[in-house]
Chains A and B, each alone.
Chain A
Amino acid sequence: DAMVIQNPRYQVTQFGKPVTLSCSQTLNHNVMYWYQQKSSQAPKLLFHYYDKDFNNEADTPDNFQSRRPNTSFCFLDIRSPGLGDAAMYLCATSRDSYYEQYFGPGTRLTVT
C-alpha cells in the first residue's frame, strides 16, 4: 500500500544532542511537510518542500533544519534540542498544492 512512513516512532534524545527524524513516502507526491504537534494542540507547520524548493515558516526556530535528498525521503534535523522541543513530529505529503495532505504516524520525541 502507498503510504507515508516515519522512523522511528519514538525517539529519546538528550538536551543539546542533535537528532534526526526520518520520513519516506511511496505516493510519489511533490510536496512534503513537517509539523510539530504539542499535547492537546493543533499541528504547527514548520516547513515544507515543493519538489526541491524549501519553504520555511517565518516562526520556525533556526534550531530546526530539513533535507530532502530525493522525492521519497525528507529529514528533520534538530541541531540542539531543548526541553521545549519535546513533541509529536508529523510528516505529511500532497500531490500538489491543491490537494489534500496525507500524514504519517508521527515520531514522538522526548528530550531528557
Chain B
Amino acid sequence: AQSVTQLGSHVSVSEGALVLLRCNYSSSVPPYLFWYVQYPNQGLQLLLKYTSAATLVKGINGFEAEFKKSETSFHLTKPSAHMSDAAEYFCAVKTNFGNEKLTFGTGTRLTIIP
C-alpha cells in the first residue's frame, strides 16, 4: 500500500520569501513521486516528478524537490515566491510495478502575502 501525507493544509509566505511545502510518503516498494499544482477552476498541472533518477528534481516555474529516502520525504521548494504561485499543491505517489493508480495527498493551499 502507498500513501502520502502533506503537512500543513494552508501555508502563507511573503512575496520573495522561500516556499517550502512538505510531503512525506509511505511505500513498500520504490516510489514514483509527483507534485501537481491546481489553480482555481482548473485541472492539475504537473510541476515535477521523481522516477528513481536524480534525487534533486527541477520543475517548471522555478520549483524543485528533493527525494530523501532516509526521511521518506519529497518536499517542494522555491527560493523566491511570486504572487502567481498562489494555488493548491498536491503531492502524489505511485509505484513502478504497473499500478496505474496515483495516490494523492490532501493538498496544501499556498497564499502569497504582498
Contacts and interface: CB of A to CB of B under 8 A. Distances in A.
B27 interface: no
A103 B41 CA distance: 13
Contact of B34 (A33, A90, A100, A106): A100
B46 A100 contact: yes
Contacts of A19: none
Given A42-B90, A100-B46, A106-B43, 10 more contacts: A4-B43, A42-B104, A97-B98, A98-B32, A98-B96, A98-B98, A100-B49, A101-B102, A103-B43, A104-B43
Interface residues of B, number: 23
Interface string A37-69: 000111101001010000100000000000000
Interface residues of A, number: 26
30 contacts: A4-B43, A6-B43, A31-B100, A40-B109, A41-B107, A42-B104, A42-B105, A43-B90, A43-B104, A45-B101, A48-B101, A50-B100, A88-B41, A90-B43, A92-B44, A94-B100, A97-B98, A97-B100, A98-B32, A98-B51, A98-B98, A100-B49, A101-B46, A101-B102, A102-B46, A105-B42, A105-B43, A106-B41, A106-B42, A108-B41
A32 to B, nearest CB: 10
Residue of B49, B102, B109 contacting most chain A CB atoms (<10 Å): B102
